[in-house]
Structure 1
Amino acid sequence: MSEYDGVLLASGGMDSTVLAYDLKKKGKNIILLFLDYGQHCMEKEYETLKRVVPVCYEKNIKTIKIGDVYKESHSRIIIEANLWVDNVVAEDLYLPYRNLLFLSIASAYAQSVGVKNVYSAFINSNHAKEIDCSMDFFTKLESLLEVYGSVKINMPYREMSKTQVAMLGLTLGAPIAQTYSCQVNSQNPCGACPNCVDRIEAMNNLIKEV
């Protein structure tokens, strides 16, 4: 048996950061799995992850490189846009089966190191365009991997909004303001991609609530 209680897909974004603090509060010893899939903001995400992760998990960050999968992609998640020139629409951010790939890799890694639980902070977003981002998809994949393998997929926030996750983050003391998750630019949040829209709405709602 592994010394770890689970593997968490972590990116330095708000949702996975909140889940890391959530699992820490529950006393879980977890591996934080960071995937380098050729995203233009990889360095920004990784540096952010190291900064926002609970101190007790700093030594538990593991990186897996899978960039070759998307090296031919023209997605703006892979090829960074110039915010002053390029007109980026939601369809430009599509990456085929990204969530399926991430969860499959995390599950394969977890089984390889003897861990039975994979944690993912995917939320119920109205702005995400990926075909593998629906509640139905997550439910079916969760069942599939549990039936045909020894790994359980845990997505505790899949029925929550970004606002609800942000509020939970505040109660847990997670540094949500320091997280980063823009899909278009690696330095300055574009404010228009699905991740940015969700984040802005959540922050505005927090201001109203607090």
Structure 2
Amino acid sequence: MSERVVVIYSGGMDSFTLLHRALADGHDVHALSFDYGQKHVRELQVASQVCEQLGLPHKVIDIRAMKAVMAGSALTGGSEVPEGHYEEESMKSTVVPNRNMILLALATGYAVTVEADAVWFGAHGGDHAIYPDCRPEFVEKMDAVCRVANYEPVRIEAPYIRASKTDILADGLTMGLDYSQTWTCYNGREKACGACGSCVERLEAFAAHGLSDPLAYEARN
């Protein structure tokens, strides 16, 4: 059944696939992105370009003023972004305190405003080891809260919550998606670094399909 959904769209590989999955399923999509003081805005730039090409409504919310209450992460602070796989202990430094609860709360408000039935976000199985706010129990609790937080119930859905990055890429490939239109790297340099957890997992997904990632990399592990 076709519904209106708000898709939290960062511009990365996962949310790019999610956005197109919502469209392929026939939904009326409103894309929503956040500037929360991350170290770079490469993802936001590609997100805006994709939405413009697709003719989708796209709202970017500036919540940089909240950076002080979302501090302590390598993605927003002064520390270096760690290299390696997501399962490594060092990757915990990329956790942004309470990020998804904050973003989902704001997205739910936007969903009520545009009369959407649900908020979709791109949490997936590969995130579970490091990010507590990407695990099934978190999604279940947020869904329960957002159904009763307003007069209009809003569902919280993470269609890829039990999927791997490889699974997500497989879905995107069936839709014929062009992943050169995404940016996944935690660093905002001219080329993707190829060494941060996000790059490593992305490159592994392409390799699992026997494909080469269309993005340019400084190095490919």
TM-score w.r.t. the length of structure 1 is: 0.84
Matched letter for residue 48 of structure 2: K
Comparing both chains, which one has the higher relative contact order based on Cα–Cα distances under 8 Å and sequence gaps of 6 or more?
A: 1
Cα distance in structure 1, aligned partners of 2:142 and 2:80: 36
In the TM superposition, 1:54-69 aligns within 5 A as 55-58=53-56, 60-69=57-66
Cα distance in 2, alignment partners of residues 142 and 9 from structure 1: 15
Q: In structure 2, give the amino acid aligned to 1:186.
A: G
Cross-structure match for 1:17: 16
Q: 2: distance between equivalents of 1:16 and 1:71?
A: 26
Q: Is the 8 A contact 2:4 2:118 kept in 1?
A: yes
RMSD value over aligned CA atoms? 2.5
Change (3 A) 1:156 1:127: closer
Give the deviation of 1:191 after TM superposition. 2.9
The change in CA–CA distance for 1:54 and 1:172 in structure 2 (over 3 A counts) is farther
How far has the Cα of 1:87 moved from its partner?
7.5
Per-residue CA deviation, residues 46-101 of structure 1 (Å, 9 max, x unaligned), is: 2211334483344x111111112124724221136668xx8793132121111111
Which amino acid is 2:19 matched to?
A: A
- SS of the residue 1:132 aligns to: helix
1:167 aligns with 2:164: no
Normalised to the residue count of structure 2, the TM-score between the two structures is: 0.80
Q: 2:27 matched to which residue of 1?
A: 28
For residues 60-79 of structure 1, the aligned pairs below 5 Å read: 60-71=57-68, 73-79=71-77
Question: What is the rounded CA distance, in whole Å, between the counterparts of 1:51 and 1:63 in structure 2?
Answer: 12
Q: Which consecutive aligned stretches of 4+ in structure 1 deviate over 4 angstroms post-superposition?
A: 80-83
Residue 114 of structure 1 and its aligned partner are, at CA, apart by 2.1
2:208 counterpart of 1:205: yes
Q: 1:172 to 1:80 in 2, by over 3 A?
A: farther
Q: Tell me if structure 1 keeps the 8 A contact 2:127–2:135.
A: no
| Structure 2: segments with no counterpart, 5+ residues | 85-89, 212-221
Q: Which residue of 2 aligns with 1:7?
A: 6
Distance in 2 of aligned mates of 1:128 and 1:70: 24
Distance in 1 (alpha carbons) for counterparts of 2:148 and 2:197: 32
User: 1:100·1:132 contact (CA, 8 Å) conserved in 2?
Assistant: yes
Paired residues in the alignment total 200
* Counterparts in 2 of 1:96 and 1:110: CA distance versus 1, 3 Å: same
Q: Could you tell me which of 179, 182, 193 is aligned with 1:179?
A: 182
Shift in Å, 1:128 = 5.0
Distance in 2, matches of 1:119 and 1:54, equals 20
- More displaced, 68-77 or 167-176? 68-77
Aligned to 1:194: 197
Q: How big is the shift at 1:33?
A: 0.3
Q: What CA distance in whole angstroms lies between the structure 2 residues aligned with 1:53 and 1:160? A: 25
Which residue in the other structure is 1:47 paired with?
45
The answer for the alignment partner of 1:141 in structure 2 is 142
Matched, 1:158 2:161: yes
